[in-house]
Amino acid sequence: MAEEKEREKSQVIEDEAPEKDEKEACEQQPQDAETGEPAAEGGEADEAAKLSAELDTLKATIEKMQKDYLLLMAEFDNFRKRTLREKADLIKNGNENCMKAILPVIDDFERGLAAVEESNDLNGVKEGMNLIYNKFKSFLEQNGVKEIPTKDADFDTEYHEAVTTFPAPDPAQKGKVIDTVQKGYTLNDKVIRFAKVVVGE
C-alpha cells in the first residue's frame, strides 16, 4: 500500500515538472503588452533608426542635386543666349577693322581727284595714282588677299577660268595662259575670285 502511494506521488511530481519548466520559460521571455507577442529586440529598433537616418540623408542629397541641376540649366541657357548674341554681333561688325583700314585709301583717292582738277601735270597725277594703287594693294596683302599669278602660268582649273582659247603663237605656250581678261584673288589661300584667262591651244 505504501509503495502504491509512493508511485502516485512520484507520478504527480513528474507531471508538474514540464508545467513548471514551461512557466519559467514564459516568465523569462518578455511579452508585448498589447499583442502578447515577444517584444522586439533592441537591435532591430537601432537598425530601423539607422535606415530612417540614411533615407533622410538621401532625400536631402537628391533635393540638393535637383537644385544644382536647375541652376546649371539656367546658366547654360544664359550662356547659349549670350553666345548667339555675340555671334550675331561678330557677323554684323566683323569687317569693322577692315573698313577702318580702307578709309585712308579713300582719303588718298579724294586728294588725288582734287589734285587732278588743279594740276595739268599728267606725270604727277600718274605718279600719285600709282602710290594710291600700291598702298591699297599692300593693304590687301596684309589682310591675306593675294593676286593669282597668270603670266606664263600653266592653265589650272583650281585658280583659272578659261573664257576662250587661242592658237598659241609658240608650241611651248600650248596649255598655258597667254592673256588675262580679269585678275583673280585668294583670301588666306582660298580662291575668292577665279582669274579669267585666255588659254593657248
Range of the domain at 201: 146-201
Q: Is the pLDDT of residue 60 over 60?
A: yes
Q: Is residue 4 part of a domain?
A: no
Q: Are residues 137 and 161 in the same domain?
A: no
How would residue 33 be classed by pLDDT, with cut points 50, 70 and 90? very low
Beta strands (DSSP E) in the chain are 145-147, 160-166, 177-182, 185-187, 190-193, 195-200
Model pTM? Answer: 0.53
Q: Is residue 41 part of a domain?
A: no
In the chain, the number of structural domains is 3
Q: Are residues 100 and 76 in the same domain?
A: no
Q: What does the block give as the cell for 148?
A: 593669282
Q: Is residue 77 part of a domain?
A: yes
Q: Read off the pLDDT of residues 46-56 as tens digits, 9 standing for 90 and up.
A: 888 899 999 99
Q: Is residue 18 part of a domain?
A: no
Q: Are residues 90 and 104 in the same domain?
A: no
> In three state form, how does the secondary structure of 93-135 look?
HCCHHHHHHHHHHHHHHHHHHHHHHHCCCHHHHHHHHHHHHHH
Q: Is residue 81 part of a domain?
A: yes
